[in-house]
Amino acid sequence: MVSKKIQIGLIGLGDMGLGHMECLKLFPHVAVVALCDSDKKRLKTASGRLKKPAKLFSSYQKLLAEKDLEAVFVSLPNFLHAPVGLAVLKSGKHLFLEKPLAHTVADAKKLLATAKKSDLIFQVGHVYRHSPFFQTMANRVAADAIGKPVLIWCHEFRQPFPQRDWFYDRKKSGGTFIEKNCHHFDLFNWFANDRPKQVCAFADLRVLKSGTKISCSYCPDGPKVLKKNNTIDNGWAMVEYRHGAKANLGLCMFVRPPREIWRGLELGIIGSNGKILIGNVDFGVMTLYGGSKKEEQMKIKNPHEGKWHSGMVEEHEAFLHAIRKGKKSLKSVQTAYDAVVLGAGAEQSAKKGKIILV
């Protein structure tokens, strides 16, 4: 029996949308049949990369009126996640929505409430949840390798965002702690395996001020002078969990040279048995320090190294599998919501100089 291909549409064909489109080519049981972007050039670039022509739309409402479409990938600027995500669900199509769930807690709440009532598959692009590296790390923690997590930290020291205006507008992105660090707050929640109690942050804009020339190595646009930037470009955020674990996030958005990430993304955990587990997803190395054993170092290779971000192929597999099997789960939306709550708390704390109760 020849089974029908899953008919997919993509809304938003910038860096991430194009990445999703390319990655979907790995799956023979998928047909990309519709594309939408308000920018004609991006729409043309994307359609030119498909082997079979897709229907092209500049309005997402028109794409959603396509009856045969089963699932939609939304990779739009964050302030459009809620209105477009809700419209996708209303049209009866499965939804893959890029992270963060939304740029504000209010919008994230609307999406979570709708997801609870819907039978559709709804997955958020928290790619690290699907990364074999972080899954191995989570399994080690769950298997009691370090006892109970007590101190957790994460260092995201990187180059600027792509040189597109919405990233640098807090009203559109939600701010850097939401746009970028929803990933890291989600990792904290995952590894602490607990609910956060409070969050505080010290952060400001030091370097990437209006008038600064910026470039990002993975964005195809040329260097650009920032007209406006009201987001933070550096800071520390701290989270306390209900059962006492404490997590610390370091953020820097102006590390040079842009093509080299300082030591990669480092995530460390000190447990109640005195051992330390440190993972560096970019180098694929995880190390367990302490105890009577000699230091244990594990290499966890991304099976798609060099081609795809750790977890990207796997997140597509999970979404497509859920559609095929009709396996609805609220987990992805719930955890994405929790990450927005922490990101918003950190943004608010930095702005108001107060500890925010979660």
Does the footprint of ligand NAD cover residue 14 (CB under 6 A)?
A: yes
Tell me whether the omega of the peptide bond preceding residue 100 falls within 30 degrees of 0, making it cis: yes
- Considering only 6, 8, 10, 13, the residue that binds ligand NAD (CB under 6 A) is 13
- Considering only 85, 149, 162, 268, the residue that binds ligand NAD (CB under 6 A) is 162
CB of 221 to ligand NAD, least distance (A): 9
Cβ proximity of 10 and 32 under 8 Å: yes
Q: Which residues contact 42 (CB under 8 A, 6 or more apart)?
A: 13, 14, 18
Closer residue to ligand NAD in complex, CB, 218/242: 218
Contacts with ligand NAD in 94-113 (CB under 6 A)?
98-99
With residue 140 as reference, give the H or E element that holds it: helix 132-142
Closer residue to ligand NAD in complex, CB, 97/356: 97
Q: Which of 14-22, 106-114, 235-243, 326-334 is the region at the interface with ligand NAD (rule: CB under 6 A)?
A: 14-22
Tokens of 179: 């746009």
- Considering only 8, 9, 10, 17, the residue that binds ligand NAD (CB under 6 A) is 17
Draw the binding track, 126-155, toward ligand NAD (x: CB under 6 A; -: no contact). -x----------------------------
Q: Which of 76-84, 111-119, 270-278, 339-347 is the region at the interface with ligand NAD (rule: CB under 6 A)?
A: 76-84
Cβ proximity of 315 and 97 under 8 Å: no
Contacts with ligand NAD in 299-328 (CB under 6 A)?
none
For the sheet with 246-252, list strands across it.
296-299, 285-289, 276-280, 266-271, 149-157, 246-252, 234-241, 196-204, 356-357
- Considering only 38, 118, 215, 248, the residue that binds ligand NAD (CB under 6 A) is 38
Does the footprint of ligand NAD cover residue 179 (CB under 6 A)?
A: yes
Does the footprint of ligand NAD cover residue 336 (CB under 6 A)?
A: no
Q: Which residues contact 331 (CB under 8 A, 6 or more apart)?
A: none
**In angstroms, rounded to a whole number, what is the distance separating the alpha carbons of residues 322 and 326?**
6
What is Dmax (Cα atoms) for the chain? Answer: 63
Closest C-alpha to 338, from 83, 95, 112, 152: 112
- Phi first, then psi, for residue 346 (nearest 5°) are -65, -40
Tokens of 44: 């043309």
Q: Per residue in 44-70, is it b (16+ CB within 10 Å) or e — as a string?
A: eebbeebeeebebbeebeebbebeebb
Closest C-alpha to 346, from 357, 335, 336: 357
Q: Which of 27-35, 37-45, 146-154, 336-344 is the region at the interface with ligand NAD (rule: CB under 6 A)?
A: 37-45
Does the footprint of ligand NAD cover residue 24 (CB under 6 A)?
A: no
Closer residue to ligand NAD in complex, CB, 80/141: 80
Does the footprint of ligand NAD cover residue 78 (CB under 6 A)?
A: yes
CB of 165 to ligand NAD, least distance (A): 9
Does the footprint of ligand NAD cover residue 75 (CB under 6 A)?
A: yes
- Considering only 9, 77, 160, 235, the residue that binds ligand NAD (CB under 6 A) is 77
Number of residues this chain uses to bind ligand NAD (CB under 6 A): 25
Closer residue to ligand NAD in complex, CB, 73/241: 73
Report the Cα–Cα distance between both ends of the chain, in Å, rounded: 52
CB of 27 to ligand NAD, least distance (A): 18
- Considering only 34, 69, 76, 313, the residue that binds ligand NAD (CB under 6 A) is 76
Q: For binding to ligand NAD (CB under 6 A), which residues are involved?
A: 11-17, 36-39, 42, 60, 75-78, 80, 98-99, 125, 127, 162, 164, 179
